[in-house]
Structure 1
């Protein structure tokens, strides 16, 4: 497995455990896609038919399934690379000049026939997860500047047109709303143009042919980039569908100085003929084995809902004591601890402890939290600044702005120009100062508005997020124990770019309504790991009263947190919360590190059924938001168990023991009643 190369015929193969991806250099010298699908027995059977024009209206360059199409010649299709050479030429004519193979990577070298300009296609495999990673690096070997107008990381070809697209749309408080649509014959573009990622679309796609959770062909991919991305999906006139992902060319121009090289963000993609479940397992396994920190995430309490900006040391300690009584392991103080931060109109940028709120600094709070045996966390929004702050008075040119325009404000704040080295140092030093002075275990990094008035440099959309990545990596290199949470007014920064740049958790949405979260978390689970999904129990409620148990069960589907004003909790609330947190701790290992299943059922009632399983145990979550007239139960067939083993569990108060084969093929009957009913059933392998 890995890479196959037929040097004589210049046919290349990329193999995973169950798939083959193949391409070749054809008779015109073009790098041409051949195949992507179930695994084949080598490259011998591949033929590379010679291409010839069909008509003057069908140029050969436009018909060819190029592995990486460029802008140039008679190409009218979507391209992945478009440049402007110093003499004004806006055209690439490339030739294949060789390849490089290492243990981890296959690199195909392509070069312009006239200019000393090269671009190299990089391929990497994650064999057991059946995933392929692609990116492109471009190098300017000329003696003049080359400008890149568009650069997409990769293009993939799917041999069908009768496909259904699944992805997410949304807005603030409604991220990760699943949508499905047939491709038809139009071009579909999913994108972001806001700089600080987006709640509207997410950089992933899923294309299937009549697939279910457990059957059918599924093609999928993600882009490892926060901020301005572009996904283009287009059925081709002569059959098949192409997908491109990369940096959004909107208002973007990357300048390459002589001798300079640029590497695009990576695209990760895969194929399975075993349905959406296998797709999710491949992506989750990739994250758990290659990206996420080992171990389990702590149960968190965040004080925002209890106090908002009105934070004071004594009250925070009182909250921490109540949180500890319930079994919380990490106490996080949110916004309001710094500067003149009494509302969202001031304070951002002045990162000193407010002496009125904390007369003796943060240490009394931190020491109290630590003495209780809990970790301590804190909220920051380092990319932003409020106009009244001393920081902006001292450095008025540190924001994105046009000198002849009124500065844009949103949420009473402006965006720092993080592309400036001095701003990067300011942010790093601020975080470094906090972490060196105080025993901080967790940072919630927020970003609450889009970027605007970006100035004359049109590459800043990309450079901004690259700078954020770099700061995060520097921080984690110096403080490897630190947990970093990515937040952008909720789920505006949920992507693999953030995960792979040293962030550990996502704040999935500012919407913490327990029922709404079921749909948000369901769509999130398609490609993102459960372990990184922060989910809270809060006082938020978009409908009639939801029981505390339902709230906990919904939040226990990810990495559990709390945000209620627990100072108002009754003794009964405290007791129940402690019991449910303890229940979560008993299943936390399988929830965060096990395999996740979206279970299907045939009940006429609107049940939501999910399962987590590993080699020794499983946890079944069943929700019934509202009982229908029929008042029927649901038969749940489990997944991922050992068919030959026996499992013990308790159902409706009765201890039972059944075989894995029985549980997966016959299933168990669960009946809930009333509104917002829920249960968790634990299965232990005997």
Structure 2
């Protein structure tokens, strides 16, 4: 059993294969954190320390390391929950009310019951263990058993206690075209806040935390957690005066007020969390394996061709068929028709909301293109932006009250579009029926769902920030039940929806509108720390790149995109015969190594060279792939030494290099390593290897 209860006190020890997490109920009935780290042998060894206040300004409630601190009393620290009861009381006083355990296939769960000592209000703390992955999922379920509604002013899903000071906190920052830019800062006194207030989740920060004690890829302690929420989140990291570091994450309280009606329950977004004693690599591997096994849909992701950069809004059936024929010739398996196929969509000025096929562009209907795509042996995909409407669109003219707005204000436009109020039942019905009709009428295999502007002017209701994304989850889930073979890609003006809340509901992430192959190395590296490679869409696009202006060789561009789920976005009708041949070769090679890339273990390898090599390894079973990139030769055209990881020390491996095969032991390849020398600018190489039988 992974859940143990101490014999002498109410102490709970939750253990996975290599880690333990412990808390208990103290003499005041408070749920107090005790331990998080390497695996402990017994709950009976854990003791509940006696706490005394330092002074009247440092009361016991402030010092107590509570698992789920609430607002009220002599608490001045960050709290996970703040409510207003029907009579206006804004203080919670909880008491322990027992526990339950459940067990399933590969998981165990402890549910700790808490209740307010006066009001009929319950809080159930959930701790779900996945022992094989060294992961735990934490959430809280709130239940209103009163006869009147109460209001929730703040809801963070959990608090984590780390018994160290001066930790390193890592996350990402960024904006459109520059998502997933990594940063690390030392935690000191004061609070670190990461959040989103725009309605999506991840252009600016991403809903996770990583705290480490000067860890490396393969050594050192790492504490981490990823919030399963898309949209407005917040996370707080604080080093306290009492010798520990606290972390909370959950729904952003900014402009948010949730009503909990009588008899209703509310489940907070879960946090998938864990501890590694062996660096960042273990963290990534545990999250990646769990995502592949328990969150993501099965099956390898197809090589796609997307028409956007080739045609933009200048879409017509004839040219799309030409692109499809050429894409098939190159080896693409999925053709995605992007923006511009519907309504009066000739630019960003019009069309959104009018989801009928433009007859001028497709005089014989969409079926003509789909049939041509299918004749080429490819699947067909379609771009949509269901949450938005243009002011000129017929939908808005017919239903001006369907958007977020204030009656007394001029409504904001961004990218010449409004945001539909998807909390309205009639809007929900429209979006579901529109998408269901498309998927029912046409032979569609893939939906690219975009959202190109932030939410604003939400009206008098303060629950829409949370309820908006809950509808997105719901509508896609329901559509997949009816159309189970359709894959959905999450796109939000680039990488605005990358999180564990939407992963599994959607199948792919569009990582960034920045498709520059060099920039993508940084974006993909940061992405890989938390999120699975299989969901990371990466494209080969034309040069000069529309955003960076760089001209990068096609081989480098392919290698960069082959590190994820490969896509092509070039105007392939302009390819030279040499470029066609190279693309065919690269796509064929990708299909060969695709199971290793999408389902294997991913390693961010060390680079000992003074030149800036980017080195990455993928390993699945007996087969592996190495990618090496040198964007620019700098210091004396130096080479590097590639030390692989994850191999069997005593096994023999054959490494296929451009100079011929090399046979070495796993120990040699990991400890001594392989010399590698690239030269020039934007040089790259892909090397395959396998264990000898």
Secondary structure of 2:211's partner? strand
Find out whether 1:473 has 2:477 as its counterpart: yes
Alpha-carbon shift at residue 51 of structure 1 (Å): 2.1
Equivalent residue number for residue 534 of structure 1:
537
Residues 386-417 of structure 1: CA distance to partner in whole angstroms, max 9, x if unpaired?
01111111111110000010111000000000
Alpha-carbon shift at residue 303 of structure 1 (Å): 0.3
- In structure 1, what is the Cα distance between the partners aligned to 2:445 and 2:688? 31
- In structure 2, what is the Cα distance between the partners aligned to 1:343 and 1:360? 22
Within the candidate set 536, 547, 550, 2:553 is matched to 547
Equivalent residue number for residue 680 of structure 2:
674
Alpha-carbon shift at residue 490 of structure 1 (Å): 0.4
Find out whether 1:117 has 2:121 as its counterpart: yes
Alpha-carbon shift at residue 198 of structure 1 (Å): 3.6
Within the candidate set 301, 315, 318, 2:319 is matched to 315
Equivalent residue number for residue 628 of structure 2:
622
- In structure 2, what is the Cα distance between the partners aligned to 1:353 and 1:544? 36
Equivalent residue number for residue 566 of structure 1:
572
Residues 571-605 of structure 1: CA distance to partner in whole angstroms, max 9, x if unpaired?
11100100011111111110100000000021111
Equivalent residue number for residue 181 of structure 1:
185
Find out whether 1:661 has 2:667 as its counterpart: yes
Aligned pairs (5 A) from 1:156-235:
156-235=160-239
Equivalent residue number for residue 329 of structure 1:
333
Moved over 6 A (4+): none
Cα RMSD of the aligned pairs, angstroms, is 0.9
- In structure 1, what is the Cα distance between the partners aligned to 2:553 and 2:516? 11
Alpha-carbon shift at residue 162 of structure 1 (Å): 1.9
CA contact (8 A) 1:205 1:220 kept: yes
Of 344-353 and 251-260, deviating more is: 251-260
Secondary structure of 2:520's partner? helix
Of 543-552 and 170-179, deviating more is: 543-552
- In structure 2, what is the Cα distance between the partners aligned to 1:361 and 1:122? 51
Structure 1: tracts of 5 or more residues without a match: none
Secondary structure of 1:71's partner? coil
CA contact (8 A) 1:326 1:574 kept: yes
Aligned pairs (5 A) from 1:200-349:
200-349=204-353
Alpha-carbon shift at residue 144 of structure 1 (Å): 1.6
Secondary structure of 2:602's partner? strand
Alpha-carbon shift at residue 243 of structure 1 (Å): 0.3
Size of the aligned set, in residue pairs, is: 685
Secondary structure of 1:572's partner? helix
Find out whether 1:684 has 2:690 as its counterpart: yes
Within the candidate set 647, 650, 666, 2:656 is matched to 650
Alpha-carbon shift at residue 8 of structure 1 (Å): 4.9
- In structure 1, what is the Cα distance between the partners aligned to 2:202 and 2:458? 17
Secondary structure of 2:185's partner? strand
CA contact (8 A) 1:27 1:50 kept: no
Residues 417-445 of structure 1: CA distance to partner in whole angstroms, max 9, x if unpaired?
01111111111111110111111000000
Secondary structure of 2:111's partner? strand
Alpha-carbon shift at residue 652 of structure 1 (Å): 3.4
Secondary structure of 1:499's partner? coil
- In structure 1, what is the Cα distance between the partners aligned to 2:597 and 2:191? 39
Within the candidate set 582, 588, 596, 2:594 is matched to 588
Within the candidate set 100, 105, 126, 2:109 is matched to 105
- In structure 1, what is the Cα distance between the partners aligned to 2:165 and 2:424? 46
Within the candidate set 408, 433, 436, 2:437 is matched to 433
Alpha-carbon shift at residue 139 of structure 1 (Å): 0.9
Equivalent residue number for residue 96 of structure 1:
96
Alpha-carbon shift at residue 543 of structure 1 (Å): 4.5
Structure 2: tracts of 5 or more residues without a match: none
Alpha-carbon shift at residue 615 of structure 1 (Å): 1.3
Of 98-107 and 276-285, deviating more is: 98-107
TM-score normalised according to structure 2 size: 0.98
Secondary structure of 1:189's partner? strand
Residues 10-59 of structure 1: CA distance to partner in whole angstroms, max 9, x if unpaired?
11121111011000000111110000000000201111122222211111
CA contact (8 A) 1:605 1:628 kept: yes
- In structure 2, what is the Cα distance between the partners aligned to 1:236 and 1:97? 29
Find out whether 1:5 has 2:11 as its counterpart: no
CA contact (8 A) 1:484 1:504 kept: yes
Secondary structure of 1:430's partner? helix
CA contact (8 A) 2:7 2:44 kept: no
Find out whether 1:133 has 2:137 as its counterpart: yes
Residues 67-111 of structure 1: CA distance to partner in whole angstroms, max 9, x if unpaired?
100001010000000001111111011110111111132111111
Secondary structure of 1:488's partner? coil
CA contact (8 A) 2:597 2:618 kept: yes
Alpha-carbon shift at residue 196 of structure 1 (Å): 2.4
Alpha-carbon shift at residue 639 of structure 1 (Å): 0.7
TM-score normalised according to structure 1 size: 0.99
Alpha-carbon shift at residue 366 of structure 1 (Å): 0.4
